[in-house]
Amino acid sequence: MVFSCPEHTIFSGFIIRFRTEAKDIALPLFLNYLLRSDTYRELLPRIASGTTITNLSQGTLASLPVSLPSLPKQRAIAHILGSLDDKIELNQQMNETLEAIARAIFKSWFVDFDPVRDKMNGQKPYGMDDHTAALFPDSFVDSPIGKIPLGWKVHALPEVIEVNPKRILKKGALAPYLDMANMPTNGPYPATWADREMGSGTKFVNGDTLVARITPCLENGKTAYVDFLPDKAVGWGSTEYIVLRPKESIPLQFAYLLARSDDFRSFAIQQMTGSSGRQRVPATSLESFCIAIPTFDSGIFQALGNFLAPIFNYMKQTMLENRILANMRDALLPKLISGEIRVPEAEAVIGMAV
């Protein structure tokens, strides 16, 4: 559903636009929900045509029969479902803000070295308490990657982060599966995943970071922080994932923030090999990526972990809430349209949720 866009906007030739002309008969938002219902999700693939690549023609879609309730009922249903989507959107915006804060702290501490620069200039590091500020030096030294804080060292990635650590999951075992299509391009958590029998794929556990290594998924930013599995469970997904996990006492979220950083992403993209359209990053090529970090006993990583843990925990709870809200919306949709559930009953359920 397009709610706003620039005055001059184009869309892909693989997209068909629906526009309601008779607004005295059908509300655009109701039609949006109607076409997302199970009835139409099951119908559309059956009427698609084509051999190698199936597709839907504009003429075929234009001839689809549509059963519409009265305008007042359309408006009521759209309002009920829309209130759930509004809450989901609000939660997503909150998570985007929180992640932006986490990424800004990572960049400030480990890329720009702002606390060190502030102390070198005789200033207190911005927004930092005295105890945390005391953990950072007040000068720089030369290194192979440029100026780094005094006492810090340059490490190759495998010295700091495990790449594709070994995980055990028996073939045929039923386990949480994360499809590439559901890998987030923004934010740490996928919106959905499902149990599937283990076949051939990348295995991961909570605390791992997944990075898509194939084009265009890498360029699009498909990256996830795994914290949605049951305790001690092993999940699996595409063979085109690279798994990252910090070593020693480094916070687990460190690998995710590193994978989202411009420096890491640019480096990874430059390592892609293969024919056009099927390029991918060999996991071994990441071994030459270098990063400057403090000693593990400096207290800086502990301070970072104390800062990141509540942020990621809040984002996780919000993600789980959105999953519940989306399931509720999808469950109510066909029942409201069919009349199985009346509008007042649905309003009572929604009122408790939002």
Q: What is the 3-state secondary structure (H, E, C) of 278-337?
A: CCECCHHHHHHCEEEECCCCCCHHHHHHHHHHHHHHHHHHHHHHHHHHHHHHHHHHHHHH
Domain boundary residue, one of 21, 36, 68: 68
Per-residue pLDDT at 51: 67
Question: Are 275 and 303 part of one and the same domain?
Answer: no
The residues facing 273 across adjacent strands are: 280
The residues facing 148 across adjacent strands are: 141
Question: Are 43 and 169 part of one and the same domain?
Answer: no
Domain boundary residue, one of 68, 93, 120: 68
User: How open is the CA angle 67-87-326, to the nearest 5 degrees?
Assistant: 55
Question: Are 171 and 260 part of one and the same domain?
Answer: yes
154 falls within a domain = no
Question: Are 45 and 111 part of one and the same domain?
Answer: no
177 falls within a domain = yes
The residues facing 329 across adjacent strands are: none
244 falls within a domain = yes
Count of structural domains within the chain: 3
149 falls within a domain = no
141 falls within a domain = no
The parent domain of residue 225 ranges over 159-293
Record the pTM. Answer: 0.88
234 falls within a domain = yes
What's the CATH code of the domain at 223?
A: 3.90.220.20
Question: Are 112 and 225 part of one and the same domain?
Answer: no
Question: Are 54 and 92 part of one and the same domain?
Answer: no
Question: Are 196 and 315 part of one and the same domain?
Answer: no
Question: Are 98 and 34 part of one and the same domain?
Answer: no
Per-residue pLDDT at 353: 67
| Contact between 245 and 209 (Cβ < 8 Å) | yes
Which single residue is written with the structure tokens 């509004």?
86
222 falls within a domain = yes
Question: Are 198 and 279 part of one and the same domain?
Answer: yes
Extract the residue ranges of the chain whose pLDDT is less than 70. Answer: 51-52, 353-354
Domain boundary residue, one of 47, 68, 89: 68
Question: Are 58 and 94 part of one and the same domain?
Answer: no
257 falls within a domain = yes
Question: Are 5 and 123 part of one and the same domain?
Answer: no
Chain centroid, CA 132 distance in Å:
30
User: How open is the CA angle 197-192-279, to the nearest 5 degrees?
Assistant: 75
| Contact between 251 and 312 (Cβ < 8 Å) | no
Q: Give the Cα separation of 213 and 239 in Å (integer).
A: 9
Question: Are 192 and 287 part of one and the same domain?
Answer: yes
